[in-house]
Chain A
């Protein structure tokens, strides 16, 4: 007889016997009689040896993960959808609490604290983007764009979506999935708008493509290449003028220095949540948000779960409950708005704590710091022979380094040998002739780190 497993209270034989006696059965097997005999597997399960002791399990896992290299022991200049930002210690402690880690669904009263934290996530995102309606988070930025354009298509009754021709291929691939292939009758057409040498959406090309068949214009600032759109209001105005939604993709960590989408006339905003107090987690830290005005036109198209403040039966007391639940897939199955389910709600709690700790001053400071550090790095790299950065472009956090002769793969291999993860190799991607890499510099990179990068690059070239 094996020992009762530490995670199963009822593995004790006496307890099982008590329950079986209550049922009047002599073997557990009798309880499975609903499953026909020919459904039962005949092949035994060849699984790894049980590691029920934590000491053995811990050793195994740590040994495996030690085969990774990490962005703490190395210098990491990779961004493009997951970014090395500093995660304040309180975010880890708060997100690690067993109470909401283990919470399921609960009720507005039994899981009141978690619901309030959710409302504080949406409220603070709303403050950053200056929009009044924010849904609970979706799986990722790409998924937020996908749901966003589908909302726009339903609102406008149109099926064309304009996106910049230079877009993160990872996000674009997700968006393509959400829009569907052309064989499907209800698919959405993705139309690419040219991006000029300045890294901005080409206004002339936009004018030829923007008409009253367009459901939404989607643009990003900063863009995939880090370029800040100088006139986002103009873009939004152009989209609104033809009755299309103007959807801005924004990095929330930039919003202490960059204008809020709600202030320049975007009708929807989407973006990533990982920068707000969540570790990169090998890509497992990603999450996305969707925001819009608090108008029924928008609110009634949200596929997300949505949390609202509401009064309790006690005078002056507030709680938080789900609103517009019925339109979700939980309420209406295939007639609901797209679908929802488990998403990244625990990260939303970390995001809420992050934003509260930052406050308006924190966001301003971090924005200015990222601008300063990334520009310092870009200038120093541009000064090296054999590579260049377009310093005329206004940019935030990420910038393109072009290499005259060297291959990015070789450069990055040389950097890696010195404990540096170079920028993402974007050679061959749209908008890139020749060899180029996308570098990301944030508040975690010190001046000394940047000097080390520049010296290593110089040697590699």
Chain B
């Protein structure tokens, strides 16, 4: 099949999808795909792609340019064909609601009889932190910074912080499964969620298979033991109302009180059930809730790649590229520069911090041709050079830069930490944290900090991978991020 044939089939598919294909064109299409297996494959792939794009609308939110979300679907001539295609993509979402319930047949019948709802494409939450998270199959994007509409998140390892639009923050501890329903409500199907609710979100509710916890102030933890169909709710601060799912009985709990909701009733106790007790150690976690997030896309933040030599075509929009090339090919050396505007952190003392980068495929070189790669993160101590600009920064003018791929002027930088990207890893997040980072941030006097990242591991074979990290302009992945917990914020507890 030549390119013209491909384009013709694609054009017919487009008209067919929009119900605009003529009878003659349809007949031609049928003739083409009747006996040609390549044409059949192409037709099916284009149709399947359309279906997936319709179903995955939420994923596209992370890649879309700024477009208003609240536009109503209507046309001057009353043509609603496209709208109709979208209005019925609800079975997936309808289905997920059922997962909250221990499956029994009558429920299934009720669910299937439910009328379709509009696609809930409204953004209701954002992933604000993801510590060493390994995700299971999710309906929603999982990168830090992802905007989330209603859907399900499942985490196999690590911690994830989700901030609902209402202001409520939920930390999920793995393994856990959370259904995001509205800006004011979610359902925890399994695992542990620690919830902190500001005044703006009083009434925020976390439902479980056996109960729902309605916040009346500050913070609480919910644990769902899915295997036993038991939930435990503990108030960390303030007041929470717990309603039993089956009996509709309810209790009000105050700080350090907790209860257990079995399938049949609410059990008040002063001591958690033995096998849930250890899990309530999660109470240590809420300090993470007070992390503030600063990215290179905020304020005067910046990021840039500097290359030792000009390499035609070897640029990548939306990425900061870092490479330590093979001996003798120094022109391919690249370092990453990242600047954060700390003015939003004010003058508080930093108690804990984490510098996070999101790996992305650069499309340059081959991952299989590099081994595990170690990177060092430096902080620029010469604050006079914090004012570098993305337009003008280059190998010659970049602050503290020296000619070697890993070389920096040690009088102008201090070592902050190291991270390793394993062989073949082109997605996920890497982070540096620790006292060096905290000290460096506390030493800042001009509300601007610059980090320089170099790859210590030198390439040993040609055509090795250039490591790519999402920059502040990346359309899909989270930008370079600093998570900072200030002392005074921690003291609130």
A and B part of one assembly? no
